[in-house]
Amino acid sequence: MKGVMIWLGAGQIGMAIARRVGFNQKIIVGDKNIENAKTIAKIMTEAGFDIEPVECDISSRESILNLIKKGQEYGEIATLINAAGVSPSQAPIEVILKVDLYGTAVLLEEVGKVIKKDGRGVTISSQSGHRMPALTPEIDEQLATTPTEELLNLDVLKPENIKDTLHAYQMAKRCNVKRVMAEAVKWGKRGARINSISPGIIVTPLAIDEFNGIRGDFYKNMFAKCPAGRPGTADEVANVAELLLSEKADFITGSDFLIDGGATASYFYGELKSNQ
């Protein structure tokens, strides 16, 4: 698909996806750390891609709008890849909610206003959202449809109701999935599609931070005892993203795809059940 790709989060998963689908597009890669974006852009440029790095803080609406504006200098926005985020070991509760939850909601909203007909998007969520107990239908609807600027005021997201950074991360990722469902309805009115992917343990710098963090043993045990018996790779996530961003997935929108080597299955019904 010709056009412009907006890509947030200059990391391994985002790059793996962009390399699959960005060969005929102008790519605008945004990251809060501009050096990360420049490093990724250099790698991609040397592989033949047309890419431009931009500093972008996903927790800021103004920053997101500036990124979109930069993309529109080259044409209509055709593709969104959102791989930005912080993990439970990288940030406090408030930052996780502002980046992973609020920031993703704003990004989906703003790109959804300008995405071209037949445009496609994927946002990276997490298996963590699948391991939470079920929320009430009322809370699910709040997470899906509350105006973005009111999201962090929801009772369920107030700091006193969040136990720890892992709980904040799980709530953010649950919200991502619900938000994608609601946004898919709006994107559909423009003839566009949006889906989410929920990876399990994927070997990236972020995952390595987790392996070396306070929950490192928990995560190592998780991938050792999942049916696959190993962590995944960014390219395995890109395998699914490539499908979702192609015409073969024209009937798929508002969906979430769990890619975790069976860890969630084991968590509920296998060897990992005792680790709850």
Which residues belong to the active site?
169, 173
> For 127, how many CA atoms within 13 A lie in the half-sphere containing its CB?
23
Annotate 197-222 with b (16+ C-beta within 10 A) or e (fewer).
bbbbbbebebbeebbebebeeebeeb
Three-state SS at 4: strand
The beta-strand segments (E) located in 49-183 are 50-55, 77-82, 120-124
State how far the Cα of 127 lies from the Cα of 65, in Å rounded to an integer.
Answer: 29
User: 84, 31 in Cβ contact below 8 A?
Assistant: yes
Contact 54, 10 (CB under 8 A): no
Determine how many CB atoms are found less than 10 A away from the CB of residue 244: 22
Distances (CA, A) of 62 to 32, 67, 77, 219, 251: 13, 9, 17, 36, 33
Report d(CA 223, CA 229) in Å as an integer.
6
3-class DSSP state of 58: coil
Tokens 């605008």 label which residue? 28
* The pair of three-digit structure tokens given for residue 257, joined into one six-digit string: 């795809």
Helices assigned H by DSSP within 146-233: 165-188, 205-211, 216-225
